[in-house]
Amino acid sequence: MTIKRHSAASAVLTAGALVLAGCGTDQNVPPGGGNPALQSLQVECGTKSVSGEGSSAQKNAVDVFARDYGLKCEENVNYTKSGSGKGVAAFTAGQVDFGGSDSPLSEEKGEVAEAAQRCGGNPAWNLPMVFGPVAIAYNLEGVTDLTLNADVIAKIYQGQITKWDDPAIQALNPGAQLPATDIVPFFRSDESGTTENFQKYLATATGGSWTGKGKTFQGGPGVGQGREGSDQVSQSVKATPGALTYVEWSFAKNLGLGQAKIDSGAGPVELTTENVAKAIESAEIEGEGHDLRVRLESIYGNEQPGVYPIVLNTYEIVCSKGYDPETAKSVKAFLTVAAHADPEQLQASGYVPLPDGFKSKVLEAVNAIS
């Protein structure tokens, strides 16, 4: 299908919802808006705007999706970052076309049944569209190359390792001149999907010696300092010699913080797009059919060479059937464009583009929406 002629995308933020749309002249925007994938992408564009609500962790990725969708289909995407719980509730209530969540629909909480009812008796699908690595960020003068592993990180947050020249850290960094500086751990004091996934990683990669779980951080008594939000924990690390934290990649990059390599048993692995893509490609799917719920333990416990394992993902929750025809067409077009979103812009925002093998699974599910 030939790309529609269009104009430059503009962004308007109103009432907490992101709206991106096409406007202007052909002369202002090159074909595809700078994303080469859009030029040849075959999409049957709908005639309706697409609405979504939920996870704030994926908000910047949805910005990229929405810009490309506006360029390709000349329609808007209205996304409200209200948190995963509210996104699921808005979706099951039929208030939005898709919900954004850092966890798949829960059968235990009744979300699976509620979503099916909203979808006219048809199952809703969890589609993992957004992957963002979590950096182990640090501030240690004179140290620009640092390797840690899950056991050491867990012991730091349990209060068992308190100095940067601890023998356990030195063993992972032979030849490095590590100072006898106190380690100052920071963690999220608010409920956080990043915390939940970080604790799942520690529990999996340490073989269960880390017992904390959930969105509230559960380190050792009196260990570390809590800060609200990713911005505050990263700024605190920036301002504190000897500091350490877990934070989304974009925050560590934007502040120029040190980022530790992770050794899962096969040698140090740097946080790069390529190394995170290896983790995503190896992820196991535990949903049935086109319900693509990711078994995160298959990423967190991956000990293969070159795999960076600390990754969180968010889902777009959609109806498999049950939309009116035009809404179905628009949702499918939006998700198709999202799967082909501009990789450079995603990486600049701290996310990793879907690797080809995983993208194929997502697109098969998108194409099956009816």
Count of C-beta atoms within a 10 Å radius of residue 10: 13
| 355 secondary structure, DSSP code | P
- 145 annotated ligand-binding residue: no
Q: Give me the residue label for tokens 């140290």.
A: 143
Give the DSSP letter string of 186-254: EEE-S--HHHHHHHHHHHHHTTT-----SSS---STT-SEEESHHHHHHHHHHHSTTEEEEEEHHHHHH
Does 206 carry a binding-site annotation? no
Q: What six digits make up the tokens of 348?
A: 């600049």
Report whether 224 belongs to an annotated binding site: no
Is position 40 annotated in a ligand binding site? no
181 is in an annotated binding site: no
The answer to whether 49 is annotated as binding is no
Residue pointed to by tokens 């799942």: 200
Is 192 annotated in a binding site? The answer is yes
165 is in an annotated binding site: no
Is 32 exposed, middle or buried (CB count within 10 Å of its CB: 0-12, 13-18, 19+)? Answer: middle
Burial 207-222 (b: 16+ CB within 10 A, else e): eeebebeebbbebeee
CB neighbourhood size of 179 (10 A): 14
CA distance 276 to 313: 12
Summarize the annotated binding site for phosphate as residue ranges: 55-57, 84, 102, 192-194
Summarize the annotated binding site as residue ranges: 55-57, 84, 102, 192-194
